[in-house]
């Protein structure tokens, strides 16, 4: 399992870190919020709201053990609410914010990998990677998260 998490971490860093390096906290939050929103909407049809919420709650609980800032994130019926964290984002260190949100995603992906045999995670990472690349090819490297779009609703 540790090897899977290490691989996921490397892949996540390859996808997101170039876009968040030297970014202000609001930009980091925007990118990770879109990333997590995409993951939520991707797993919802397969796992259902109750299971998706339970997985997100568990990932949050695991992440809170190391990164206190995620205590401002809350699971709501629409996914994960970033409003409380957004209200105080300037009080968070950009590195701590990025590490906490990345760890949250890694915990969520670890739980999903255990549950689905890594199938959903690999599919989501390929789609997200494609969307980030697509953003760079269209000259939108300043806002790659604009290209993480929910297929079901057509929103970001």
pLDDT digits (tens, 9 = 90+) for 86-131: 999 999 888 899 999 999 999 999 898 888 887 788 888 888 888 8
Does 82 reside within a domain?
yes
Rounded to the nearest angstrom, the gap between the alpha carbon of residue 39 and the centroid of all alpha carbons in its chain is: 7
Q: Total domain count for the chain? A: 1
Find the domain containing 115 and state its range: 2-15+24-142
Res 150 pLDDT > 50 = no
Does 152 reside within a domain?
no
Contacts of residue 99, defined as CB under 8 A and 6 or more positions apart, other chains included, come to: 67
- Are 145 and 131 in contact, with CB atoms under 8 Å apart? no
pLDDT in tens, 14-61: 888 777 877 888 999 998 998 899 899 989 998 999 999 999 999 999
Does 46 reside within a domain?
yes
Q: Considering only CA atoms, which of 101, 108, 145, 80 is closest in space to residue 8?
A: 108
pTM given for the model: 0.80
Q: Which two tokens stand for residue 130?
A: 């494609």
Q: Considering only CA atoms, which of 5, 38, 56 is closest in space to residue 135?
A: 38
Does 147 reside within a domain?
no
Does 151 reside within a domain?
no
Does 149 reside within a domain?
no
């Amino acid at each position: 399992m540790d090897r899977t998490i290490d691989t996921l971490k490397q892949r996540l860093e390859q996808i997101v870190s170039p876009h968040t390096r030297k970014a202000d906290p609001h930009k980091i939050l925007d990118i990770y919020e879109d990333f997590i929103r995409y993951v939520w909407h991707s797993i919802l049809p397969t796992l259902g709201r109750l299971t998706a919420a339970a997985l997100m709650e568990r990932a949050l609980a695991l992440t809170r053990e190391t990164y206190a800032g995620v205590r401002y994130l809350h699971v709501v019926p629409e996914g994960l609410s970033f409003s409380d964290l957004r209200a105080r984002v300037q009080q968070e260190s950009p590195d701590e914010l990025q590490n906490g949100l990345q760890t949250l995603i890694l915990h969520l992906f670890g739980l999903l990998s255990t549950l689905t045999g890594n199938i959903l995670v690999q599919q989501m990472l390929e789609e997200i990677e494609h969307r980030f690349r697509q953003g760079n090819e269209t000259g939108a490297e300043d806002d790659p998260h604009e290209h993480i779009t929910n297929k079901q609703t057509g929103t970001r």
